[in-house]
Amino acid sequence: MGALHYLFLFLTLSALSTTTLAHNITDILSGLPDYSEFNKYLTQTKLADEINSRETITVLALNNAAMSALAGKHPLSVIKNALSLLVVLDYYDPTKLHQISNGSTLSTTLYQTTGNAPGNLGFVNITDLQGGKVGFGSAAPGSKLDASYTKSVKQIPYNISVLEISAPIIAPGILTAPAPTPSDVNITALLEKAGCKTFASLLQSSGVIKTYQAAADKGLTIFAPNDEAFKAKGVPDLSKLTNAEIVSLLQYHAAAGYSPFGSLKTQKDPITTLASNGAGKFDLTVTAAGDSVTLHTGVDSSRVADTVLDSTPLMIFTVDNVLLPAELFGKSPSPAPALEPVSAPSPSPATTPSPAPASVEAPSPLAASPPAPPSETPQGAPSDAPVGSENSTADNAAIPVTAPALFTVSATVICSILMS
Ligand SMILES: *[C@@H]1O[C@H](CO)[C@@H](O)[C@H](O)[C@H]1NC(C)=O
Ligand SMILES: *[C@@H]1O[C@H](CO)[C@@H](O)[C@H](O)[C@H]1NC(C)=O
Ligand SMILES: *[C@@H]1O[C@H](CO)[C@@H](O)[C@H](O)[C@H]1NC(C)=O
Ligand SMILES: *[C@@H]1O[C@H](CO)[C@@H](O)[C@H](O)[C@H]1NC(C)=O
Ligand SMILES: *[C@@H]1O[C@H](CO)[C@@H](O)[C@H](O)[C@H]1NC(C)=O
Ligand SMILES: *[C@@H]1O[C@H](CO)[C@@H](O)[C@H](O)[C@H]1NC(C)=O
């Protein structure tokens, strides 16, 4: 039955979105001064969030002496890549290290999931050597095993194991890869390449791109709707919005601060966007289910789809839907996230390096056509009427309010279930 299906979805979403974290790497290392530098960088690069949001992992920790090979010598984005290579997506305690079949194995690391690792550079080679020694090195052919296991730090079977190794694992090119400063990154060009031409063109024509570029150095996370999203049913006619509304809408698609995928997954508080001008205004709430993260506006919601750029402190994601802030498009902003069956948890991880999971369709020729520039809005047209007036039905509202329809349908479904 349809209703039961929705109820099940609703309950599943509720259950999953309140999942508590199994471990806290910052806490595990906090009592151990030998790892204070390593711990500090896990926090700065937000790798701690990524580690805490996963199970069955092994963290290869560097003590302060070993960490001095990296700390302060490279840009944060490079250090992040190097440390991602020390987070193995499998559980190895000291016993298992010595029971590797055939004495040698290649194991996936977090670096492999970032999309920054070409070929098999995101894998590490773990080899049980003569005399009980265990060596670690890059999986790239010809690499030496230049780190070795020194001691166990902590195990919570089979959730997380922390093992100390003697030195960083250096994959070829990982320290010399270009690390562009965020102010030099051409956000427009990246967005166009990622299938977000409409969004990029709106940023340019409205001038909001300057706000984005200016914020990038201090930390910025962008949620860019793909071109399909702008053509979806329920998206308001942008040519009917005022310039100020367009600016707010675009500012709503970015948040100050660097929030990579793992941080979104562990995010509990609402996200303040660049459009926020007061408590609770223009916020986004976040729910996570498995490897899927969904943003909720109170009017609609969207899955976080792909990573376009992860270069500390600038993060760019694509999203499947245009995020419609309740302050512009909702009659009464709802504090509870809207249930939207369309964005049900998807098994595809958003951090996969491959171009596109199911959500992003091949761009149609129409996708390339730029939207009507906001300046075309006629002066004194109905669209200049104040937004958020108490009485805004679809007929007299400043903006055609078609978007809340789905929310209303979902809410009605839930209500009718609860009442039956
Ligand atoms: C491991 O993680 C699971 C799932 O988060 C949790 O239920 C379990 O209690 C954890 N095990 C330990 C020993 O903490
Ligand atoms: C993890 O532990 C640190 C230090 O004890 C604490 O400040 C932080 O809030 C914890 N994080 C979570 C998500 O509980
Ligand atoms: C171990 O090595 C043998 C011979 O090279 C191979 O056939 C086998 O698949 C290996 N086992 C594993 C688990 O890698
Ligand atoms: C790991 O590295 C060693 C030394 O370079 C090499 O002999 C071994 O074949 C590698 N293991 C795997 C599984 O590739
Ligand atoms: C950024 O890229 C866009 C589109 O590719 C181009 O039009 C623009 O001139 C570039 N901006 C800078 C500052 O290079
Ligand atoms: C809102 O508009 C509707 C239809 O135009 C009207 O019937 C109603 O009285 C209005 N309510 C208020 C509070 O102005």
Distance (Å) from CA 330 to ligand 6 centroid: 17
From 90, 100, 101, 104, the mutation candidate for ligand 4 (largest count of ligand atoms within 8 A of CB) is 104
Q: Starting from the CA of residue 105, give the closest ligand.
A: 4
Mean pLDDT (the chain, rounded): 80
The finding on whether 217 has its CB within 6 A of some atom of ligand 2 is no
Distance (Å) from CA 170 to ligand 2 centroid: 29
Q: CATH second-level architecture of 182-329?
A: Roll (2.30)
CA distances (Å), origin 315, targets 43, 111, 217, 307: 16, 16, 11, 8
Distance (Å) from CA 159 to ligand 1 centroid: 6
Query: Which atom of ligand 1 is nearest the CA belonging to 157?
Result: 13
Provide the sign of the torsion angle of the four alpha carbons 156, 161, 166, 168, taken in this order. Answer: negative
* Same fold flag, 21-165 and 182-329: yes
Per-domain boundaries in the chain: 21-165, 182-329
Instruction: Say what the pLDDT of residue 370 is.
Output: 41
Check residues 117 and 55 and name the one with the higher pLDDT. Answer: 55
Burial of 56 (0-12, 13-18, 19+ CB in 10 A): middle
How many C-beta atoms lie closer than 10 Å to residue 252's C-beta?
A: 23
User: Does residue 278 register a pLDDT over 90?
Assistant: no
Instruction: Say what the pLDDT of residue 330 is.
Output: 86
The finding on whether 22 has its CB within 6 A of some atom of ligand 1 is yes
Nearest residue CA, atom 8 of ligand 3?
102
Burial of 262 (0-12, 13-18, 19+ CB in 10 A): buried
Q: CATH second-level architecture of 21-165?
A: Roll (2.30)
Of 269-273, 282-286, 374-378, minimum mean pLDDT range? 374-378
Distance (Å) from CA 25 to ligand 5 centroid: 41
Instruction: Say what the pLDDT of residue 117 is.
Output: 79
- β-partners of residue 104 are 127
At 140-187, the pLDDT tens digits run 999 999 999 999 999 999 999 999 999 999 999 999 887 778 888 999
User: Do 232 and 364 touch, CB atoms closer than 8 A?
Assistant: no
Query: Which atom of ligand 4 is nearest the CA belonging to 106?
Result: 13
- β-partners of residue 318 are 224
Query: Which atom of ligand 1 is nearest the CA belonging to 159?
Result: 1
Chain centroid offset of residue 251 CA: 17
Which secondary-structure segment (H or E) carries 255?
strand 254-256
Instruction: Say what the pLDDT of residue 376 is.
Output: 39
Six-digit token pair at 414?
């839930």
Q: What is the mean pLDDT of residues 286-294?
A: 94
Q: Starting from the CA of residue 101, give the closest ligand.
A: 3
Distance (Å) from CA 54 to ligand 1 centroid: 11
CA distances (Å), origin 105, targets 51, 57, 92, 97, 102: 22, 16, 12, 10, 8
User: Does residue 325 register a pLDDT over 80?
Assistant: yes
Angle at which helix 197-206 crosses helix 243-251, to 10 degrees, equals 120
Distance (Å) from CA 23 to ligand 2 centroid: 9
Query: Which atom of ligand 3 is nearest the CA belonging to 101?
Result: 13
